[in-house]
Amino acid sequence: MLKNKTALVTGSTSGIGLGIAKALARQGANIVLNGFGEVEAAQAEVAALGVKVAYHGADMSRPAEIEAMMAAAAAEFGQVDILVNNAGIQHVASVQDFPVDRWDAILAINLSSAFHTTRLALPAMQAANWGRIINVASVHGLVASAQKSAYVAAKHGVVGLTKVTALENATTGVTCNAICPGWVLTPLVQKQVDAKAAALGLSNEEATKLLLGEKEPSMQFTTPEELGELAVFFCSPAANNVRGVAWNMDGGWAAQ
């Protein structure tokens, strides 16, 4: 379905980003990966699906590096047809104790980076009259949790940016939508499970149940593969008129 299209996925060397990149690759899209960690392993996983894979190590808190990444993607593949803004970091503290540098970093990576990639991708999408911008927000773009002021503020901002981008392109073939996952078992969430287990003297399994039980009625994690299939749907002709939605895949979290 996506043969001859190019998808750039930020924060895609593991977790949700890699899951989405692989789902798009299965539909034939060439992939530009971005992120840290096991870069070669991620490239190999995507390449095994029979598509071309590029990588750019842009620091998503730095606008100049984001510009260089977008330019490199365009130089290699012609243009970015599908943009998935997934890069994100987390820090947990009460508002009065929240480190200012952590606030600035979370807003830069979780929100401002999506603005920069979007503004740079839109002209080519508009010229082609086809494009898909998929912002990975969070259930925290819809509801709040204590101790997560920067993350919740950034993800609410991502949902707002999604709506504005969708409205500005509503009469074109360019759509913009947000995915709002609940708990997904990524390295980021595993750290929270481990911390809960250590703090309360619980087994990993008990800590997992406690974490899910606090928020997620389904008592199961959403998977990167499920999120990838939702991204594929947003890229399909069936989603041509799905515009500006914040689609939660959260096991009932926001329904409570």
Backbone region of residue 228 per phi and psi (left: phi > 0; alpha: psi in -120 to 50; beta: other values): alpha
CA angle, 24 as apex, 136 and 77 as ends, to 5°?
A: 100
CA–CA dist 116, 104 (Å, integer)? 16
Q: Is the dihedral of CA 22, 39, 51, 84 positive or negative?
A: positive
Among residues 55, 103, 151, 221, the one annotated as catalytic is: 151
CA–CA dist 31, 76 (Å, integer)? 11
Contact status, residue 87 vs residue 37, Cβ threshold 8 Å: no
**151 labelled catalytic:** yes
In this structure, what is the dihedral angle of CA atoms 112, 90, 212, 217, given to the nearest 10 degrees?
Answer: -20
- Catalytic residue annotation: 151
